[in-house]
Amino acid sequence: MSTPLFDLTGKVALVTGGSTGLGQGMALGLAEAGADVALVDYVDSTETMALIEQLGRKVINIKADLMKMENIASVVETTLAAFGRIDILVNNAGIIRRTPAIDFSEKDWDEVMTLNSKTVFFLSQTVARDMMKRGYGKIINIASLLAFQGGVFVPSYAASKGAVAQITKALANEWASKGITINAIAPGYMATNNTKAIREDEVREKSILARIPAGRWGLPSDLQGVAVFLASPASDYVNGHVLVVDGGWMAR
Ligand code: NAD
């Protein structure tokens, strides 16, 4: 990196849901800026690992189901055993369930709320205990445009992402004075597994695309610069912010 403001050399990042999609994109961006990375996912992160190794960074793959609270402590312990510290946490792992609200099941409510918001809080809490030892850390939560809008057929997802925005602000209020910045990224409509179903629905795909001023769906690489900014000293006075990266969707 040409400027120390965005330099992550020697930093350690823990990225959840790093096997594919936006998590993979952000993990690569952080590695390119100099960070070593612990990838946490319930499937193998083989491809992301290989790409990070090609960049010359250290990387470990922790296979864990983050829906289970009992796995949180061991994920953090494994990362600390490998790298000795965690400077950056990216709470990215998330799921979505699509069903009209009138038929929505308790299971789909609980699973989405658990992974998308409960895990975000408790993983942040566990990692922050390590960050506080050094008085420095960066937590980046992945929210959504549905932190602002209600969406259609995705009530638990909208509720969980609204919670992510509020968790971000609540933790920023308590931890900014401890040297930890907590911010969120709200991605717009991005081409990943998460949006496969709506991209395959021709009518919805067209109507979504028509509202995006940038004229295209977002890509995992579109989050790299923002993730590096929020993980680096460049954002040391940015606290509790939800940064929309949506090709202009919210401006329309
Ligand atoms: P994705 O489905 O490609 O990626 C989700 C990742 O989370 C995968 O790596 C998956 O294996 C992992 N994951 C799922 N359940 C897990 C579990 N129980 N334990 C551990 N890991 C688990 O989707 P994506 O679009 O890359 O989503 C990443 C984040 O971005 C999510 O929080 C999502 O809600 C958010 N987001 C996506 C979009 C979009 O348009 N794609 C928009 C806004 C927000």
Summarised one tens digit per residue, pLDDT across range 25-41 is 999 999 999 999 999 99
Q: Which helix (H) or strand (E) holds 110?
A: helix 106-113
61 in contact with ligand 1, CB cutoff 6 A: no
Helix, strand, coil percent values for the chain (each to nearest 5): 55, 15, 30
144 in contact with ligand 1, CB cutoff 6 A: yes
* Cα-to-centroid distance, 178 and ligand 1 (Å): 29
Domain 4-245 fold is: Rossmann fold (3.40.50)
**1 pLDDT higher than 50:** no
Q: Which helix (H) or strand (E) holds 134?
A: helix 119-134
* Ligand 1 atom 42, closest CA: 187
Facing residues of 59 across strands?
A: 37
Identity of residue 83: F
Q: Which atom, in ligand 1's list, is nearest to the CA of 67?
A: 18
Backbone phi, psi, residue 62, to 5°: -110, 115
Pull the structure tokens for residue 71. Answer: 């796995």
Neighbours of 71 (CB within 10 A): 18
Domain ranges of the chain: 4-245
Q: Is 157 an active-site residue? A: yes
Facing residues of 218 across strands?
A: 190
54 in contact with ligand 1, CB cutoff 6 A: no
Q: What is the pLDDT of residues 127-153, one digit of tens each?
A: 999 999 999 999 999 999 999 999 999
